[in-house]
Amino acid sequence: MINLDVKHLQNFLAPHELEQLEGQAQAAWDLIKNGGGPGQEFLGWFDLPINYDRQEFDRILECASQIRDDSQVLLVAGIGGSYLGAKAFIEAMGPLWESQAAKKAKQVPEILYVGNNLSPAYYLDLMDYVGDRDFSLNIVSKSGGTLESALAFRLLRQEMEEKYGLEEAAKRIYATTDKAKGKLKKLADEKGYETFVIPDNIGGRYSVLTAVGLLPMAVAGLDIGAMLEGAQQYKLQMEKEELASAAIRYAMIRNALYRKGYRVEVLASFDQELRSLSEWWKQLFGESEGKDHRGIYPASVSYSTDLHSLGQFLQDGSRILFETFLSVAEPRRDLAIPSDEEDRDELNYLAGKSLGEIQAIALDATALAHADGGVPNLRLTLGRLDELHLGALIFFFEAACGVSGYMNAINPFDQEGVEAYKKNMFALMGKPGMEALAQELQNRI
């Protein structure tokens, strides 16, 4: 389902450089499979494709169908791991653009994401855009206390209550949060919202195959059963192949390159459907690995667009980068280049080729040029853009990230660093109990 091609690493890594990492990779993989490493209490994602809650799965499908019946818009309020996965995989399945009329005919609400920034214009323009369309709201927050999403929820809840009245509004709000702790769970129970659980043992960025991602993806019409099936298939394959699996080889290659001074991994794709997937990938790896003043900085580019901007840096700038091309073997759609009698643009040599073929050639050409320019690159190819393959890709990246983090001797499952800005922000905003810190920060601003 996922192929790893390493031919453009030849000039950068000798075979022994990977062989000598095998012991560390095996130890890291054992910690993922059996626990025992730092953050082991957050390994729930590993067995999730097999032991997920079937009753909750059915309830997700029922609620998705309800939302499709009564709403033209679903607002998903969440930040980080609480929305990036849903957005990534809904967009990956396309279509890239669909008119509101077409969505209405298919009974697929438009899905919009809120609570992931603090921009007043974003919020107000978005609500103008929703206009008088019927909407439902999925608030997603494991902690229930994240400022960005909690604020969006407060604003939207009030809009909703004004528009529909308290009783109807309560039926249109779906809360995805932890099972018992936290303000959101308490509020949801008191108000009678439908709730879904983010298991205690699954962190935000590993949660796309829980209700966090499954509810919005089901509303968008994705086959979420096939997605879990794909993840399960890849997990079983990895358990069989172990160190020979593409996921563990990918983790080993990243670590080998990092140790040779390649500090930035650029995820590069020519497929426009994968733009948001890159954002999900960046969060998964960035928040998991950037710790203790170590880690590979995950960046992304969307080609061909970025070949005409960042491409210059990739080809010829500081040699601190390696590149991971992510492509799809069978394009979701394809079209042929027509011939032109006059051929004034001199493009007839391409007539008869499909745009997909031209894109594949552009990828080959870019990978070669970048390798020649001193950028080690590897290629991950997904068989098709369907739910089964995307489910496999989710597990692939999650497992690779866990193994890679353990190989680099950090805890891939916490995110202490994210708290620093929050502490300052809450103090400066005047949160009760934080007056002393507020004073100290004010003096330094």
Residue with the shortest CB distance to ligand PA5: 204
Binding segment toward ligand PA5, per CB under 6 A, in 136-144, 305-313, 360-368, 399-407: 136-144
Which member of 104, 183, 422, 423 is catalytic?
422
Which member of 110, 194, 265, 287 is catalytic?
287
Assess 210 for contact with ligand PA5 (CB under 6 A): no
| φ, ψ (nearest 5 deg) of residue 112 | -125, 145
| Beta-bridge mates of residue 74 | 111, 136
Which residues are within 8 A (CB) of 224 and not within 5 positions of it... i.e. 6 or more apart?
Answer: 57, 60, 61, 214, 217, 218, 387
150-184 burial, b if ≥16 CB within 10 A, otherwise e? bebbebbbeebbeebeeeebbebbbbbbbeeebeb
Closest CA to 264 of 308, 295, 305: 295
DSSP string, 310-323: THHHHHHS-S-EEE
403, with CB counted inside 10 A (0-12, 13-18, 19+), is buried
Binder to ligand PA5 among 91, 273, 279, 287 (CB under 6 A)?
Answer: 287
- Report 190-209 residues binding ligand PA5 (CB under 6 A): 203-205
- Rounded-to-integer distance, Cα 84 and Cα 87, Å: 5
Q: Give the residue with the Cβ less far from ligand PA5, 303 or 406.
A: 406
Q: What angle do CA 67, 161, 132 make, to 5 degrees?
A: 60
- Rounded-to-integer distance, Cα 217 and Cα 67, Å: 12
102, with CB counted inside 10 A (0-12, 13-18, 19+), is exposed
Catalytic residue flag (residue 422): yes
Catalytic residue flag (residue 287): yes
- Report 350-369 residues binding ligand PA5 (CB under 6 A): none
Coil/strand/helix, residue 110? strand
Q: Give the residue with the Cβ less far from ligand PA5, 151 or 337.
A: 151
How many angstroms separate the Cα of 443 from the Cα of each of 309, 397, 422, 431? Answer: 41, 44, 18, 17
- Report 396-425 residues binding ligand PA5 (CB under 6 A): 415, 418
Binding segment toward ligand PA5, per CB under 6 A, in 74-82, 89-97, 333-341, 351-359: 74-82
Binding segment toward ligand PA5, per CB under 6 A, in 77-85, 257-265, 324-332, 355-363: 77-85
Q: Give the residue with the Cβ less far from ligand PA5, 2 or 184.
A: 184
Shortest Å distance, C-beta 177 to ligand PA5: 8
Give the rounded distance of the alpha carbon of 266 from its chain centre.
Answer: 15
Binder to ligand PA5 among 71, 136, 138, 146 (CB under 6 A)?
Answer: 146
- Report 312-351 residues binding ligand PA5 (CB under 6 A): none
Tokens of 111: 């899905």
Binding segment toward ligand PA5, per CB under 6 A, in 131-139, 140-148, 267-275, 310-318: 140-148
Single-letter amino acid code for the residue at 58: D
What x-and-dash track marks residues 155-194 binding ligand PA5 by CB under 6 A?
----------------------------------------
Binding segment toward ligand PA5, per CB under 6 A, in 6-14, 80-88, 237-245, 339-347: 80-88
Q: Give the residue with the Cβ less far from ligand PA5, 138 or 141.
A: 141
Q: What angle do CA 59, 72, 107 make, to 5 degrees?
A: 70
Shortest Å distance, C-beta 81 to ligand PA5: 3
Assess 142 for contact with ligand PA5 (CB under 6 A): yes
Q: Give the residue with the Cβ less far from ligand PA5, 122 or 313.
A: 122
Residue 82 parent element (H or E): none
Binder to ligand PA5 among 82, 210, 276, 324 (CB under 6 A)?
Answer: 82
**Footprint of ligand PA5 (CB under 6 A):** 79-82, 141-143, 146, 149, 203-205, 287, 415, 418
Residues marked active site are found at 287, 308, 422
